Amino acid sequence: MASDRPSKPSGKPTPRPSAARESTPDAVDDAYVATTRGIEIRVMPQYAADRSNPQRSQFFWLYTVEIRNEGRDALQLVSRHWRITDGQGRVQEVRGEGVVGKQPVIEPGETFRYTSGCPLPTPTGFMAGTYRMVYLSGRSFDAVVPDFSLDSPHMKRSVN
């Protein structure tokens, strides 16, 4: 699921959920944003037409994630948990160590950025998840990754 290819920000902002899971749209780059315990996670998905084959029901997205430590203590991203839902409601769960082969330590005021990818058999879907963050003192928590939409230009839209 990992790729180091650059991507341009795109996507649609998520609505603002409850205060426990603060998430706000960013008007500048249409990123999906969530903040948990001073860790801001910003996701910018982009449909990858060059890696997709709609005639074979193969659709691919790149997504760039920025993780900013707005807290006072350094911490480390040690694992990830993704829930990937395709356009037919099928859910795939992915768990693993770190992201793109790394378990970065993020100092206060620093941002870690990476790009990865997601294939789907449908022209639309969405992803959501968490990152397990561990302070150097040993305390840990799950930082919420905001739900983000994967929409291709091949998606049939309807007005209800």
Q: Is residue 160 part of a domain?
A: no
Task: Indicate the number of domains in the chain.
Answer: 1
pLDDT tens digits for range 32-69 = 999 999 999 999 999 999 999 999 999 999 999 999 99
Residue 61 within a domain: yes
User: Band of the pLDDT at 79, cuts 50, 70, 90?
Assistant: very high
Q: Is residue 67 part of a domain?
A: yes
Per-residue confidence at 88, pLDDT binned at 50, 70, 90? very high
Residue 12 falls within a domain, yes or no?
Answer: no
User: Would you say residue 95 lies in a domain?
Assistant: yes
Domain extent, residue 82, equals 19-150
CATH number of the domain residue 118 falls in: 2.60.40.1470
Q: Which long-range contacts (CB under 8 A, 24 or more apart) does 91-97 make?
A: 94/1
Would you say residue 158 has pLDDT above 80? no
Residue 1 lies in a domain: no
User: Which pLDDT score, from 0 to 100, does residue 7 have?
Assistant: 35
Length of the chain counted residue by residue: 160
Q: Residues 104, 133: contact at Cβ < 8 Å?
A: no
Q: Is 98 exposed, middle or buried (0-12, 13-18, 19+ CB in 10 A)?
A: middle
